[in-house]
Structure 1
Amino acid sequence: MLSPTRRTVLFLGALTGVQLLCGCTDEHGPDAPTAEHHPDQDLPLRTRAVAATDALLAGYDTVLAGPGAAQGDLLRRQREEVAQHRSALAQGLPAATGATTTGATATAAASPTGSAPAPAPAPASGAAIGTVAALAAAERQTATDRLADLDAASPALARLLASVSAAGALHATRLGDTGPVGAPAASPVPSAPAAAPTPGTAPAASGAASGTPAPLPSAAAAGAQSALAAEHAAVYGYGVACAFLPVGRPRDDGRTDYLAHQARRDAWERLLRSGGTGPTAAAAGYRLPFAVKDQATAGQLAAHIETRLTTVYADVVGAGTGPVRLQAAGALRESVLRAARWGAAPSALPGLPAPADTSASPSLSGSPSASPSR
């Protein structure tokens, strides 16, 4: 069975024990370059994201005015969250650009010559989103499009895009669209292609020629180690929770999530090894944030673990690049969906502090804030 046997205790706050250097720092200190000499690389990305958000908001308004009356409470709640997304994405934009615009206009404004990657496909206009099903599909597609700009974004914007994408995936699911969000699959650090040897010479012994992966940058390696530590703790926590979940769907769901965290843990270990870094081993044991003694508290623990993982993964998105950033964004989305299934309170920007909250990421101490849906 999955019940724990390890004795040495280490606080389960490993799930939130890291404030990563790259993802959470202020990029606008006194030594920051001026906009005149260094154009904001995030400007076209933010403008494009705002345009897509405007299309979603128009779609919510269209559906609420017509066929969405039966789901009015859910739609209004999600529309408010989308409005919060827009406000966060528009920060730093010129007033005219940050104002509500049509998708076509903002997409054109988002792509000045030579300033950004090719834009994602233009979102559907609000007028084209006339049903709940169409709105759900638009949420899912927009969640996918957010991820297309992750690599080009600054650490702070990457965290925001990953959070908004995860929230959009949950919106789509709640509206009945459970199709996959098109996040790239987790993958190891790519190796450099082997160079063809020059005739008459011995093959080069370099890492590139032998296919050895390039080392992970230090910040990305630190982020991956933090994610691995969090997954070690999550596996332990789910082991406890599963021991108290009754046979049937609750235990099946717990077992599925337990195995998913094992797989995610293994993926981080592989990525670290492929980047030349030794993975951190699991602790001998972990102390839970509250006593687990029945189905209700087991469900609360699962919700608590997933909610705290969103904070970890938002920070890893900011610290990492390439496969680390992509893997963290996918894990953030998965934790948002699992947290909702276990009854966690929703957040407009999962993994990020509330706008009025300037404190550090919360610890796992204290009582859980979620009520299990079991």
Structure 2
Amino acid sequence: MQPPSRRTLLALGLLTTLTACTASVGDRHADPTPPRDPDTPVRLRAIAATDLLLGAYDNLLTVPGARTALLQPLRDDTVQHRAALVQGLPSASPSPTSTPYRSLPTLPELALMEHRTAEAHLHDLDEVGPPLARLLASVSASNALHAAALGDTTPVLTPDADTEGTPAGRAAAVPALQAALSAEHAAVYGYGVVGAHFPDDPQRADARTTHAAHQAQRDAWQRLLGTLTAAPTPAAAGYRLPFPVTSPTDAAKLAVHLETRLTTAYADLVTAVPAPYRLLAATALREAALRAHHWGAPATPFPGTPG
């Protein structure tokens, strides 16, 4: 969702008059440099961090016996991250610069780099426009997936979210938060079906744990909506499944479907809500992406972005 266009603050007649009055001053005070896109510094920092990752991957891939099957797909994702970040740079912006990663990292060191990059992308989330906010949240989720694939499963630390906001911002957030709550209602229902089709083994335990996580996220959205003086949307009596579920294989497929749908819902939420609520949406996006991969979803460089 793009932000609403700004209304013209001056009527045409007033603008014409103002222009005429100031024309005699001449152009000597005019600044020929166009205003800088406020997203540009954030993009440049994100590109520099991505370049360091690419250098680390390249160094590791030159080592005889390198785990190419593991590393190359992660590097390919990182190339796509960089291309997406560069694409948004204004034509007049400086070229991205970064310091090459000169040492030879170990796999745990590379995992830590991915983990820290996932965290770094979130620090400027409230300072950029909605499209870049969505991209950073998605790339951060991908970095977290990379870290997990490389062996680092420690939680990604999300900066504290200030959800106070302005009265207008709080009101604007309600419809999107209600949509997120509805998505969690459906996930809670779906995981009831998932768990019922697993035998009493680790998969059922996983389903119970995930079911509880979605209940907790549902409750969190309900509490937040309550602070916004909005009545939370209630759960439906039932939800139509996307396909019949009659076996453990079907149950795992349903879990993938639920989590993948949630990544899209939460990427949309990052774009739709005012800045104070973006970190909450980005965190939910990352957790859904990690759970989707856990249940067997293929890796994607941009979780929450179909195609």
1:176-199: CA deviation from partner (whole Å, max 9, x where unpaired): 1112211136x68338xxxxxxxx
Q: Structure 1 residues 225 and 142 mapped into 2: Cα distance closer, same or farther (>3 Å)?
A: same
Name the residue aligned to 1:89: 85
CA distance in 1, matches of 2:145, 2:231: 34
5+ residue gaps, structure 2: 9-31
Q: Does 1:228 align with 2:181?
A: yes
- What is the aligned counterpart of 1:168 among 134, 138, 143? 143
Q: How far did 1:100 drift?
A: 5.6
Amino acid at match of 2:137: A
Amino acid at match of 1:92: G
CA distance in 1, matches of 2:211, 2:85: 34
Indicate if the aligned counterparts of 1:234 and 1:261 stay in contact, CA closer than 8 A.
yes
1:278-326: CA deviation from partner (whole Å, max 9, x where unpaired): 1111111100000000100000000110011100000100111344211
- Percent identity at matched positions? 50
Amino acid at match of 1:334: E
- What is the aligned counterpart of 1:152 among 120, 123, 127? 127
Q: Structure 1 residues 339 and 166 mapped into 2: Cα distance closer, same or farther (>3 Å)?
A: same
Computed over aligned residues only, the root mean square deviation of the Cα atoms, in angstroms, reads 2.5
Indicate if the aligned counterparts of 1:56 and 1:139 stay in contact, CA closer than 8 A.
yes
Q: How far did 1:224 drift?
A: 0.8
Q: Does 1:71 align with 2:64?
A: no
Name the residue aligned to 1:47: 44
Q: Structure 1 residues 127 and 89 mapped into 2: Cα distance closer, same or farther (>3 Å)?
A: same
Q: Structure 1 residues 338 and 303 mapped into 2: Cα distance closer, same or farther (>3 Å)?
A: same
CA distance in 1, matches of 2:122, 2:162: 18
5+ residue gaps, structure 1: 1-20, 104-124, 192-212, 355-374
| SS state at 1:317 partner | helix
Q: How far did 1:47 drift?
A: 0.9
Amino acid at match of 2:61: L
Q: Does 1:80 align with 2:76?
A: yes
What count of residue pairs does the alignment treat as equivalent? Answer: 283
Indicate if the aligned counterparts of 1:224 and 1:324 stay in contact, CA closer than 8 A.
no
Q: Does 1:244 align with 2:241?
A: no
Moved more, 175-184 or 161-170: 175-184
Amino acid at match of 1:223: A
Indicate if the aligned counterparts of 2:130 and 2:270 stay in contact, CA closer than 8 A.
yes
Q: Does 1:179 align with 2:151?
A: no
Q: Structure 1 residues 127 and 96 mapped into 2: Cα distance closer, same or farther (>3 Å)?
A: farther
- RCO comparison, higher one (Cα < 8 Å, 6+): 1
Indicate if the aligned counterparts of 1:53 and 1:85 stay in contact, CA closer than 8 A.
yes
Q: How far did 1:37 drift?
A: 5.5
Name the residue aligned to 1:264: 217
Amino acid at match of 1:235: V
CA distance in 2, matches of 1:37, 1:278: 45
Q: Structure 1 residues 130 and 189 mapped into 2: Cα distance closer, same or farther (>3 Å)?
A: closer
Moved more, 281-290 or 93-102: 93-102
Amino acid at match of 2:98: T
Indicate if the aligned counterparts of 1:90 and 1:98 stay in contact, CA closer than 8 A.
no
CA distance in 2, matches of 1:284, 1:129: 56
CA distance in 1, matches of 2:169, 2:250: 39
Q: Does 1:309 align with 2:283?
A: no
> Which residues of 2 match residues 315-326 of structure 1 at below 5 A?
315-326=268-279
CA distance in 1, matches of 2:227, 2:104: 44
Q: How far did 1:52 drift?
A: 0.7
Amino acid at match of 1:275: L
Name the residue aligned to 2:306: 353
Indicate if the aligned counterparts of 2:40 and 2:90 stay in contact, CA closer than 8 A.
no
1:56-95: CA deviation from partner (whole Å, max 9, x where unpaired): 100100111127x342111000000000000001113256
Amino acid at match of 1:276: T
CA distance in 2, matches of 1:95, 1:128: 33
| SS state at 1:51 partner | helix
TM-score by length of 2: 0.85
TM-score by length of 1: 0.70
| SS state at 1:84 partner | helix
Q: Structure 1 residues 188 and 89 mapped into 2: Cα distance closer, same or farther (>3 Å)?
A: closer
Larger Rg: 2
CA distance in 2, matches of 1:63, 1:128: 9
- What is the aligned counterpart of 1:273 among 222, 226, 239? 226
Return the structure number with greater helix share: 2
